[in-house]
Structures are given as C-alpha cells and as structure tokens.
Structure 1
C-alpha cells in the first residue's frame, strides 16, 4: 500500500440495493433544488443537515461527531461522508459519493471544494451550519457570495410527491399496529417501559414486513402514565400503572427517515367524571380541528378557531403547544418543517399535497380534578376537496378505557 494517504477517495463498494424511492423521484427533487439555485443565482449548494441530505440523496447519516454533506452543482450531486461508513453511503444513496479521510484535519472541506470549486456563489443551510463550520466554509471555499437556502428547501419538502404520500400512509398504518399492540399490553401493574417495548417491537416487525429492502432505525414509543402525561415529549419510565391512571399512547414508526405518529389519550381500568369531561372536550376540539383542515385555510386561521373553541369552554389556559405540524423527512433527532405548523404566527395556506396533523392537547395541573395530559393525534392529507385522514386507530373513551 502506498505511503501517500489521500485526502478523499471514492469507495463504491458492492452493489446498490433497491432504494426507498425510484431514481426518478430523487432526480425530480434535485431538479427542484436546481430551480431554487437558478432563481437565487447560486452555483453550488452545500447541504449539511440530516433531513436535507436524506431528502435529496436518500442517504440518512449518523454523525457521531463527524460532518456530512451533499454538494449539488448544475451537473453534479455528491454526498461527502466519513471513512467510518465505508461504502454504505454510496450504496444507500441515489447520488455519487466521496469519502473523506481523517489523516489530516478538514479533509471534509477539501472534498467539498473538489466538487464545488472555489470562488463560487454558495448556498448553505443557515439553520444548521455552525459558526465554526461557517468559518471553515469561507476559508476553504472563498465564496463570492453566500445564500441561506434552508427556507426554500423546506418549502419544497412541505409539498409531498405521490411516492412520499404512499410511504407516509404506510407509516400511519404502522403507527396503528403499534397502537393496538400497546392497547393489548396495558394492564394494571404493568410498567410504562414494558408497554412501550410491545408497541415498538410490533412496529419494527411491521416495517420489516412492508419494506424488506429498507434499513431499520429510530422507531420508538413514548408511553406515559399519571403525572408523566403532562408533557408530550416526556420519556418512558418504569412506573407501574394504577387503576384510574390517565395514559398517553404515542407510537412513532420511522421508515427511511420518514416520521409518522399516532397519539391517544387512554385510561387504565376506569376514568372519573372530571377526567371524562375534559377528555370529551379535547376530542371535540380534535374533531372540529380536523374539519378545518382544507385547501385555502391558513395555519393561523385554524389555530385561532380552535383557540376560540377552547376559550368558550374555559379550557384555553390549559393548552400547551400548537395544534399540529407537517410530516416527512423529520424526527426528534433532526429536521422540522416549521413553515407548516398550526400556530398563531404561521401564515402558510394549506394546499393539496401537504400533510399535517391535528393534535390538540390540554394539560390539567396535578391536584386539580381531571389532572393529566390529554392528547389526540391524527395525520391528514390535504386534498382538492378537503382532507383524507390516514390514521385508523380509534380515539375517545369508548375504545380507550382499557386494562
């Protein structure tokens, strides 16, 4: 072996398996990105986030302290990956790939310059590129100008292709499978962690059945009980269920970077009158909110109408967050399509092809009647005539007082 250690090289090891989407899907996404580049006078884009690299190339990286990129020019699209991943980024990507070595610092940027060149008009993700990496970008690329293209890529990702809608539908179906497994596992005295594992295992098996050529990672469950239901993102504990506990079922299957979710209020064995009153009000808000999701409605408009619904029932003060968000290449590890969230400060108008949840949540403080967190969550496709609900697991007291 030569004593000359390269700064970067191509390691196209083995054959590419079937990717999650057809090559034409990735080509269309890159065409959309190049249209953004042309409209903004950008010569080369350096994408650094997990969600954008996955969206445009199909490769979902695991950083573990290392930097990754997708460099796109008018003619090339190349992922830049670390040597620790060997040939996997090329096999699991729809684009070319270059591996950078760690024999000397900043070979990552040398590989990027090899593709993008110096002195160009560069597009970056302003919400992801760190200050340290931004300084290196300027030192190595010597750009003539820098443009933040992150908001424009988010706009592109918000509008789903038919292939994306298909995988999101499969994810919603898988979330339902996890929900039923959790319902079967709910028993007085069972631990949150054991119930959560039942749901996760069922979903991973379902994903493997539906997508035998995929990679499997990141599917998870948050199953909360009692006080632990007060926050939507509270981790699972080893708490044992007690009769009369409020429960929160949350299943999150991940399929090739695509996130879906099912969230339901439940009760262990029985629900008291005060709890039922709040639960039924939240279900009513959920149903009302879903009826508002149609083309032409703005996120802010929908939010304000649900606010009024809760205010009329003297419950608005218990609302904890916005009423819904987009779906696609995102998760709690990475990514968010912040332009499509049901909040007062988001003016985005709903269009066919968008995907959004309806998930009102009320949190009643400990010590008050009906204490706990109440949340229902369905995934809806915006259609020409209104919406299509792709979540199947039932909500409300009739089905979800269990154990």
Structure 2
C-alpha cells in the first residue's frame, strides 16, 4: 500500500505527536505531511529521519512563532495536499487534519484527539480568556470561529472511519459532527512506570498547575484531613492558588517539578493518585496505575475509560473539596481491595503494543475488499 500520514503542525513532542510516532512505527514506509514543521532538532527522533511535506503556512511571515494565528488559512492549506495515488490516509487531528481531500479509491482513517474546543463548547471561555468579548477584534474572532465551525462540520464527512481517543471524545464527535466514532485509546509508554509493591505512605497529585486542573481543590480537601499526608508535584501559573489552599497544613508537601526518576518513585509509593480535572483522556492516570497505584479521580471525561470503579479506583462526581473528601474517605475504608496487580493490569490495555495491535487491525478491516 501507498500510505500518507497527516498531522496539523509539528512544533513539539507532546501527546498528539506520540500518536504520530506510533503510526510511523506501524507504517514506516508512509509519507508524512504537516501544515508546518518547526520541531527543534533535539525532538525530531520520533520521525525516524522523515522530513514532512509542509503547506504554504510554513513560508508565511513570522510563522515559526505565530503559526497558530493563521488558523483561518488552515482549512485551505490542508486541502492543498495532493494525495492522488495513495491507498490509505491516516490523519492525526485536533483541528483541521481530518479535512484533507482524498479520492474515491483512497481510504481515510482519522484519529481525532478532540473536535476544536475553542470553536465549539469552549468558545465563550476562549473569548473571555483572550479578552475578545467586545470590540472589532472580538467581532472578527466570533465571525472567524463561526466560519471554522461550518467548515469543521462539513469536513467531518470526509474520513471513511473516525477514531476517538476515548468514549468522552466519541460522544463529543457525535454531538458536534453527527458522526459515529470507534474508540482507540492513545498509546502510553508504560516501560518507565513499572509495577511496585513498595510500602505506600502518601497521597499524590502530579500535574502541571493550570487552572482547569483544579489542584487547589485537592489541597483544600486534604487541609481538612490533617491525618492524611499529601504530596503535590508540578508547577505552573496556578501554583500561587495551590500554595494558598495548602498554607498552614503540615500534612501537605509541595515539591514543584522533580526529576522523572523521583516522580516514578513517588508514584510507586503513593497510596492513591488524586486527579480533579476533566480530561479528554488522561495519560498521567494511566502512568500512575501502571505503577500499581489506585486512582481517586473526577468521574468525567477520559477517567471513565481508565478506572475500573471499586477495583482500581474511585470517582467523585463534583469538583468540590467536599466531594473529594468523601471519595478519599471511601477509598481509605476499603483500601485493601485496590491491589497493585489489578491497577497495573488495567493500565496495560493502554500500552504502546496494544495501540499498534488495534490500529493495524482497524486498518486491515478498512482496507479489506467489500
């Protein structure tokens, strides 16, 4: 087969790029396309030496620093890729990659990380945070997002198969595009997060400290449970809010960023990993389970795919300190039921080998003669 892999843009090695990495591992003969490629040299290893074919956005003024400002041109740019002669197109899409144009003899499978949140359900939050709720610039941005929604919904009919990275994303796809999506969870590298049966001494939060993670709620909850030690790892713009919530609580230790080896050790010795955010999937939760650590997590988003309630973790249904306290108390009451072996076994279904096995199986089915 002649295969093309399409990704929006390459500027860092992060979550969606890890999916591209595994697509390339499954199909190393594939040609790679991206709207623009500004990856630093020290992060290019996952491309296996491939140099992607890029769009005209690569050559626009100030694109290296400001390519996201060309959002209004991205639908046009992705439609300019010439994919004649390809048997299979795999797109990795969180904005426009799923909108590539393919011919009748080409099968297009789109792996969707999420429909464009800033154009759909988070539009008003995006406009508030960007200071674009009024004025001519705000009016233009609303018009632009309306145009993007119309193109986004129209182009959602182009892939032959749509894959969502969780049941939560599959439901969002159904809501905004009126398309059914199969679920293929993203690949998580579990080799660096081995199972441990070491003594477990503390509860743990490990996350970048940004507002939507709601780490301050976890700190406030544990400040009201002084008998339970909590360690908070990570930094970010919400760090002062977290520090304020933890102030005066000797049972709460804030560590900031720590080396990877130290993070793994903290995961392996945690009684439970506490997570209060609503995520599309939630790789950090899988990494914690891989170490044998149960989860106490907000029961929306990708967490519903990751946790087997009552076996590998417990949910709380509201983002409040009171709900977190109740969930922690429920966990402590039956802590012996959550074994490290069960947690690690649950994590393995999200491993890299599982992702490759499932992806190649989906491709075989899609390419089979009718």
Interval containing the TM-score (normalised by the shorter chain): 0.3 to 0.5
Look at both structures and tell me which one has the larger radius of gyration over its CA atoms: 1
TM-score, scaled to structure 1: 0.34
